[in-house]
Chains A and B, each alone.
Chain A
Amino acid sequence: MPESTTPEQEKRTDELKPAGEAKILELPILPLRNTVIFPSGISPLTVGRPLSLAAAEAALATEEKLLGVVAQKTDGDGDPAASNLYQVGTMVVINRMMRSPGSEDTLHLIVQGQERFRILEIIQEAPFFKARVELLPEPAREKTPEVEALQRNINALVQKALTLLPNVPPEIRSIILGAEDSVRLAYFLGSVLDLEVAQEQALLEASTEGELLHHMHTYLTREVEVLEIRSKIANQAQEELGKAQRDYILREQMKQIQKELGDAEPEQAEAALLRERIESADLPDEVRVETERELRRLERLPAAAPDYHVIRTYLEWVLDLPWKKRTEESLDLNNARKVLDEDHYDLDDIKERILEHLAVIKLNPKTKAPILCFVGPPGVGKTSLGQSVARSMGRKFERMSLGGMRDEAELRGHRRTYIGALPGRIIQSLRRVGVNNPVMMLDEVDKLGMDFRGDPASALLEILDPAQNFSFRDHYLDLPFDLSSVFFIATANTLAPIPPALRDRMEVIRLEGYSEEEKLHIAKRYLIPRQIKEAGLGEEQVQITDEALAALIGRYTREAGVRQLERTIGRLARKVALKVARGEGDVFTITPNDLEAYLGHETFFHEVARTNLPPGVATGLAVTEMGGEVLFIEATLLPGAKGLTLTGQLGEVMQESAKAAHSYLWSHADELGFDCQEKLERNGVHIHVPAGATPKDGPSAGVAIVSALASLCTGRPVRSETAMTGEITLSGLVFPVGGIKGKVLAARRAGMKRIVLPRRNEQDLKDVPEEALRGLEIVFVETVAELLPQTLTPEGESAGESHKPVAETAPCAEEKVGNEVRVEGGARA
């Protein structure tokens, strides 16, 4: 082309130029609803409105198929007014056109954006808009830092948006990320993003890159924000739904698997099984109604419901209980007696009382079962006696230790509202034995805890009351269970800790300690055979002579029961077993001389009654949990001191009885013919009771204290080999005390020859085995005046002794276990 052109030439080239290259031209205008077409990219258009159809037809009739599209400011179904059009639009080329099959009045166009234009003038409004337009240049590219920053921000935002929109097809992704020209990218995003027409129009009208990008940035920021919130909401919803949905799906799968395996739905199968059991079980009416109601609830619940398992466990408990099942009793009294005799030596009185109860039950099966309480020291056979009772009656035996129990709920259960609730021990035991008339032993009832954490003894009140326990309600079951056929036997070492209300409900049977004679028999009949068998020896392989056995009982053990004795025999048997195993022999006869070789030194000194007691020392008798004990009372004068000093861990009752003894002597010295008033006035008195570490209490040391004091005042020693017990009053009466059998046995063990007892304890001697009384002189007294001549040596017999009481040897009530002095509970004098 020449450097300079003539006007004609210019005109000619203008004509030659395509329409798109002219600056100002006339175009048919197609109003657009809801969208803006940008001058890049291809858009489909569906044309149906008459005005638009006419515009499209007009464009198609031109040589170059150029059409101006302009967005409407507001939507509307009808043809828009010219004033409703934006001023800036896009010139497009119609690339494709087709008519809808069946509808001549709808055109489908595919148009390619070319240039932006501004409407200069609408030159025709019907049948279509025609305008004279001025083509606008592309937004001017700028290279300012602001534009650079906007470009980068937009790129970052686009990246972010793409990560939030995982469903964008990869082609579009690569178009967006590959775009080099930010203006093209902005136009593309404008057509892709869900923007309002006004926003899109603003993009279209932007005349500089900066303006365009600024708009785009604003829109994108908002868009990304919305996307982020959307994805956050979606995530939250997903999380919430996720677990429930997962569980559901897994459960459904499990069902399917079970169906495939041929199992019925497990919860239905379970409910059906329970129903079957309920129908076949022999239940009381009230229980049946309740279980059926629970079963109906169970059937309505899905297995996953927390209540499901609670109800199922409950129903199983109810069904497992022996509501009506009982053992048929074989109440043959002769047989019962035989069984009792087989298991226990002697205890005639107790066996008799048990047989009485059995006889009543035999004659009147409807009678309430008695509630017995065996009280006695450890090892006397309370528990095994209970077992024998069960055996003699042919009932099942269930033992339950109450020792240390401190929660009422342990006996009576927890309400079902608690998680993991279970019935109490009573109901649990009944389920275990499976009958409703067992012999139930409540062991160690005196060791029930009772504090702020609960009071199980109160729960026992209901259980042990025959008038109430036919409808015992466990908290868990909440159904009445008939306990009246249960033969309750409680055991205790002492009655004192048992609350009176509870004691009142039980018939107390005392098992005092055994005498040495009895122990000998028990050992020969039960303990030796048992221990020899335990050691794996034949009965003929170990022979223990009676003398050796007596030595074992007397010198290697000290107890009311026979547990320690049995252990000692067991030790002996094992020593023999060792020898047999070593092949040192086959048959061993054990004599008293062998004992030291087998068992070492004697554990206990034989209690030699102290002869030649100094004045001021008397021998008393006490009862401990371990049985009877011998107790020495030592008194001495304290010249110049005043009043009474008491030592030796004496309890209040014992201190008071010491004061009573002191006061009695002081005030009645003349009557008694003692010349001691002055002595008591001038001197203080100290009374001490060894062993000092053992707490002692009780009134029964009264006579021993008064004897010791009298001996101190008169200088006449207390008669040796004389033990005494009894409570004294200030007026000089001697009152009866308890534990006579244990005390007598202890005195005998200690080698006493005379025992002074209150007169009113005479009948208690019947309990003492005859052989224990053999060789003992028993003296009964009613008053202190009667007592003192019996306990003090006659005047002058061993006069000349020093007034100073001496207790060189410790009293023998100490068990030597190494250097330790064992202190077992307290002693009650």
Chain B
Amino acid sequence: MAKSGKILIERLRSEASYRRPSGPLWQPAVDVYRCPTGWKIKFDLAGVAPEDVQVLIAEDNLIVRGVRRDSVISEGWSYHQLEITYSRFERVLRLPFDLSHAEIRSESRDGWFILHIDCA
């Protein structure tokens, strides 16, 4: 089921405006497509609520970060095995064009998080 909506997009003004963690965060895998209208960028972000994803842009850099929360676990359950990585993630992509004036739209579908970037 596809779910589209406005997402939180911050235009990055300076590196210092967000807090860099000391340790490396996990990185979702990504596919980047070119299409007649522009670019489609698809992130493997199953189990991540769209509101937990933050997209930042600065010139040709696209930063997608957020947090994956375990929304399944319930009171009284315990783990037997854990392989999926939760908590914060961050993915920085360098794209071959300036994003400053691009129109960006996000979509969440079947566990993918897709960014539609239309270039004029």
Which residues of A are interface residues toward B (Cβ below 8 A)? 1, 16, 18-21, 39-41, 57, 60-66, 92-99, 112-116, 138
Contact = CB atoms under 8 A, between A and B. Distances in A.
B85 interface: yes
Interface in B7-63: 8, 10, 19-26, 51-52
Nearest to B77: A61
A1 B54 CA distance: 11
Contacts of B21: 20, 39, 114-115
B81 A20 contact: no
Contacts of A99: 80-81
A97 B81 contact: yes
Given A1-B10, A64-B69, A18 B22 contact: no
Contacts of A96: 82-83
B67 interface: yes
30 contacts: A16-B51, A18-B52, A18-B67, A18-B88, A19-B87, A39-B21, A41-B23, A57-B79, A61-B78, A62-B70, A63-B69, A63-B73, A64-B70, A64-B86, A64-B87, A64-B88, A65-B87, A66-B87, A93-B85, A93-B86, A93-B88, A94-B82, A96-B83, A97-B81, A98-B81, A98-B82, A112-B23, A114-B23, A114-B25, A138-B22
CB-based closest 3 A-B pairs: A18-B67, A63-B69, A97-B82
Q: Which DSSP category, helix, strand, loop or mixed, fits chain A's interface? A: mixed
A355 to B, nearest CB: 120
Nearest to A1: B10
Contacts of B82: 60, 65, 94-98
A20 B86 CA distance: 12
Contacts of B85: 93, 95, 112
A31 B81 CA distance: 22
Interface string B64-80: 00111111010001111
B52 A60 contact: no
A440 to B, nearest CB: 101
Contact of B20 (A93, A97, A138): A138
Contacts of B71: 63
Contacts of A93: 26, 85-88
Given A20-B87, A40-B24, A93-B85, A60 B19 contact: no
Interface size class of B (residues with CB under 8 A): 20 to 34
B29 to A, nearest CB: 16
A72 B82 CA distance: 27
A63 B66 contact: no
Interface string B81-107: 111011110000000000000000000
A20 B21 CA distance: 8
Interface of B: 8, 10, 19-26, 51-52, 66-71, 73, 77-83, 85-88
A340 B87 CA distance: 126
Given A60-B78, A97-B81, A113 B22 contact: yes
Given A66-B87, A112-B24, A113-B22, A20 B67 contact: yes
Given A20-B21, A112-B24, A61 B73 contact: yes
B67 A64 contact: yes
A127 to B, nearest CB: 13
A20 B70 contact: no
Given A18-B66, A64-B67, A115 B22 contact: yes
Nearest to B22: A39
Nearest to A61: B73
A97 B24 CA distance: 19
Contacts of A40: 22-24
Given A1-B8, A62-B70, A97-B81, A115 B87 contact: no
Contacts of B8: 1
Contacts of B23: 39-41, 92, 112-115
Contacts of A62: 70
A354 to B, nearest CB: 116
B88 A65 contact: no
A825 to B, nearest CB: 110
Nearest to B69: A63
Given A60-B78, A62-B70, A65-B82, A20 B22 contact: no
Contacts of B70: 62-65
Contact of A63 (B51, B78, B86): B86
A114 B71 CA distance: 21
The residue in B8, B52, B82 that gathers the most chain A C-beta atoms within 10 A of its C-beta is: B82
Contacts of B69: 63-64
Nearest to A40: B23
A20 B20 contact: no
Contacts of A18: 52, 66-67, 87-88
